[in-house]
Amino acid sequence: MRIPESGRALGTRTPEPGNVAGGPLRTQHLLGFLALAILLSTGCQPPTPSTEVVELTEGWEFSRADRAPGPGAPGELIDTLSTWLPATVPGTVHTDLLANGLIPDPFWRDRELTLQWVGEEDWVYRTTFQASPQLLESEVVELVFHGLDTFAEVRLNGLTILEADNMFRSWTVEVKDDLVSGENSLEVHFGSPLPPALDARAALPYELPAGNDRGDPPSRVFVRKAAYHYGWDWGPRLVTSGIWRPVELLAWSGARVADLHLTTDSISDDRAFLTATVELRVSREEADRRAAGGGVPAIVTLASPDGAFEPVLHEAILDPGLNQFEVPIQIPDPQRWWPNGLGEPHLYTAQAIVKAGRRIDTLTTRFGLRTLELVTEPDSVGESFFFRVNEVPVFMKGANVIPLDHFSPRVTEEDYRELFQDVVGANMNMLRVWGGGIYEEDRFYDLADEHGILIWQDFMFANGMYPGDSLFLANVRAEATYQVRRLRGHPSLALWCGNNEMDEGWRNWGWARNYDTPVDSAAVRDAYEAIFHDILPGVVAVEDPNRRYWPSSPSLGWGDPESLNRGDSHYWGVWHGQEPFQIFAEKLPRFSSEFGFQAFPPMETIVAFTDAADRSLFDPTLLVHQKHPIGNELITSYMGRDYPTPKAFEDFVYVSQLLQARGMRTAFVAHRRARPRTMGTLYWQLNDTWPVVSWSSRDYFGRWKALHYAARNAFAPLLLSPTLRGDALEVWGVSDLTRPVEGTLYLELLDFDGTLLWQLPLPTDLPPNQSQLLWEESATSILGDADSRRVVLVAELVETGDQAPGHSSLLYFHPPKELELGVPTIRFEITTGEEGTILTLEADVLAKNVYLTLEGTHFSDNFFDLLPHRPRTVRLETDLTPDQAEARLEIRTLAEIPQEGVDYDSSADRTDRPLP
């Protein structure tokens, strides 16, 4: 699967670095689109387009390089691999081998372990393409590689024109003099990324720590390549190579628009003031023709296709090479860009048009109007950490995102769309792009803009210390310059962060104590300072000065008490520290940028990568898809604290998801109750790169775990949070709305048969954008003589004048394993109408953690508690008819899980629940 051209940012071309002043500039304001009409009508003939783009995606082949086979290469394949085979560009060598039937699916069972040889080999890709006489008449022809992974020698017609060494850069070479009319050959020779890293490592007199190399030498830090390719505690080690982003020929003459970037200077309700920065490139030939006149005269027009501002016409004298100038723009009656949940993420469109001689070039971009700042100021706790958008303090709700596939070129536009639908569907407003993955595709950021999802963007450095030689640092600077310029125009971009967990590793994980001499230790730290306190903030200051830079996440380790008082926090006391879930309500950071707990993916996903014989908790094949060394043991240990221990493997999978959701929801609601002390909760992790047992809420195939449903409910704009603090029974209201909420809080104590034991209506006013204690009472006085193991507190807030069901939440007085649950009889029916396919359920007794499964179906709600005699509706996204869906729907509840001992073998008998 390739990223289609439509997945690239609208009108985007590779921005060139630099800050070159242009020639004399005159600015003139015209009405409407009169400027465009004049511009396009000059002369007897219409202007010729300046730029032609030829995509080189067809006819690619690949082969194993002609050298001695690597130590793990299968001998029976060597001859086949040395022939030319069809290849897909963009793509990877693993996916090309898979498409040609030469390797098994790397995600199937334990096949990952048998495919390490692929990363040890060298590979060659080649194609031919036609260069037309018209293309060769262009004054400049550039070959642009938007992504080469990673060590690549590029040969055009047998001549080496490029040697690349960074996966995260775009590479551009002028090739007009190397092209011939007619057929041209293009070869890309990829060297294995392993030997250069090992050579660089051997050249250092000391080791560099790398926190997730799974026992291998810490070689990945020497390579500017996605760290997760080398394996992580949620992903496989499959070190790949390939042309992973598009390749194109860019031919142009005269002048072309190289970049258009708009920044917001100020916004009021009446008017927005912006600065448009336009960069133009002028060919040497054009400049030579105009040399007698002292430069290249050009007419540049800035216009808004959607009519947001009046066109602005410029007459300029351009110098050869790169020209840059700034133009003030005003937008009357501006519509602001808002994060999800606070308003519309309105986007405008701007276009730059340059006409030099008889040639014309255009570049179009989208932008949003908003102010955003990261507020870090001293306060009564320590130092704040929150984002203020359009002058509104915003509580950030979201997750950390990793690449959607280990082989990222096969992620499709539809995959990205579904991801953002699920992000919005869970009421999120921020994602953190984690530093061990990739700088995401342009389409990812476009969709973030369209859906109002703010992006915390890590630079791609994670869990290790990096070298500090001059070549490496220069490579980092070029990478950062390219990526900052590529992404800075997105209104969704909220923050640049230097790295993931590196400062914490140095200070708290013992990295600094690993060195025999202070000289070695100082050299490692000096390299860190050079990258994260000099180069990266320097690039941001020049290329994106209105965006905040944060050196490292977290700013302090979770073992440091001060980490709760300032900066952002990765709190791993739960899971790694094996602390109870209740600690989340006590350890309240200023901004929680990472924390998590594992669960198994749904059984449908497990079936997709295992044989039936593999499906037991500690089967070696299954454990290939559990990368944490004691992950299943930790899940089992935590499960024993809160849940009945299931007998069968399939039941264990189900309860593991309930456990994950319960623990993480404890954190979500505690963080939200604690605002303004805590102003963000980004959990680890949103998604998976392959089918695996992990911390994700949305598995590799996009299936929602219980956690994703829990996040959706806990991240709702209006949250009711009943909680127990000792004997104190509290009900909190948390609102992210910018309006006050008036209504009635209804509190009920129900037993599991549905009998009403106590109730209280309470008029309630909840201020906007705040957390507030709404009610407090002794739990003992409310329970009276009721059996606390057989009752539930129901809290519901109904807004005044609202006829729809209110915002509700439930509170139990014991963990699930101590509740006296009866086996429910659930009646249901499925109907279709204007609102789609609707499932209505009703139970005779409390049905705890109702889990709905139906092949190929997504449920609007799942894993929920169904109160007795209170019907509940769920919307289905399915292609099945109601009769088909009713016949195939499966319903499971916690009360029906057999608990006779512990047997996690999939062959264990499971007592079927009674069907409704």
* Residues that are catalytic: 501
Distance (Å, rounded) from C-alpha 642 to C-alpha 815? 5
User: Beta strand 321-332 with 271-282: parallel, antiparallel or unpaired?
Assistant: antiparallel
Residue 699 neighbours by CB under 8 Å, 6+ apart: 601, 602, 605, 687, 688, 691, 705
φ/ψ of residue 437, rounded to 5? -105, -120
φ/ψ of residue 498, rounded to 5? -65, -45
Query: Coil, helix or strand for 455?
Result: strand
Q: CA 238 → CA 192, 227, 241, 555, distances in Å?
A: 12, 11, 10, 31
CA atoms within 13 A on the CB side of 860: 12
Query: Coil, helix or strand for 665?
Result: helix
DSSP code per residue over 754-768: --EEEEEEEEEEE-T
Residue spans of beta strands (DSSP E) within 108-181: 123-131, 140-145, 148-149, 151-156, 159-165, 171-174
* Residue showing tokens 């342009």: 442
DSSP code per residue over 374-423: EE--B-SSSB--EEEETTEEE-EEEEEE--SSSSGGG--HHHHHHHHHHH
Please name the amino acid found at residue 261: H
Nearest to 103 by CA among 90, 83, 117: 117
Distance (Å, rounded) from C-alpha 312 to C-alpha 217? 58
Distance (Å, rounded) from C-alpha 409 to C-alpha 829? 42
Cβ-based neighbour number of residue 11 at 10 Å? 16
> Strand order in 756-766's β-sheet?
756-766, 741-751, 791-799, 807-812
* Residue showing tokens 């604690």: 674
For 373-403, b/e burial (b = at least 16 CB within 10 A) is ebebeeeeeeebbbbebbebebbbbbbbbbb
Distance (Å, rounded) from C-alpha 601 to C-alpha 476? 37
**CA-based torsion, 21, 23, 24, 26: positive or negative:** negative
End-to-end CA distance of the chain: 42
The token duo for 613 is 């014989």
Distance (Å, rounded) from C-alpha 50 to C-alpha 809? 61
Query: Coil, helix or strand for 432?
Result: strand
The token duo for 199 is 């050579």
* Residue showing tokens 């800075």: 488
φ/ψ of residue 579, rounded to 5? -75, 160
Distance (Å, rounded) from C-alpha 140 to C-alpha 255? 10
Distance (Å, rounded) from C-alpha 153 to C-alpha 480? 22
Please name the amino acid found at residue 540: V
Q: At what angle do helices 706-714 and 649-673 cross, to 10 degrees?
A: 20
Q: 261: exposed, middle or buried (C-beta count within 10 Å: 0-12, 13-18, 19+)?
A: buried
> Strand order in 770-778's β-sheet?
718-725, 728-735, 770-778
User: Beta strand 454-458 with 430-433: parallel, antiparallel or unpaired?
Assistant: parallel
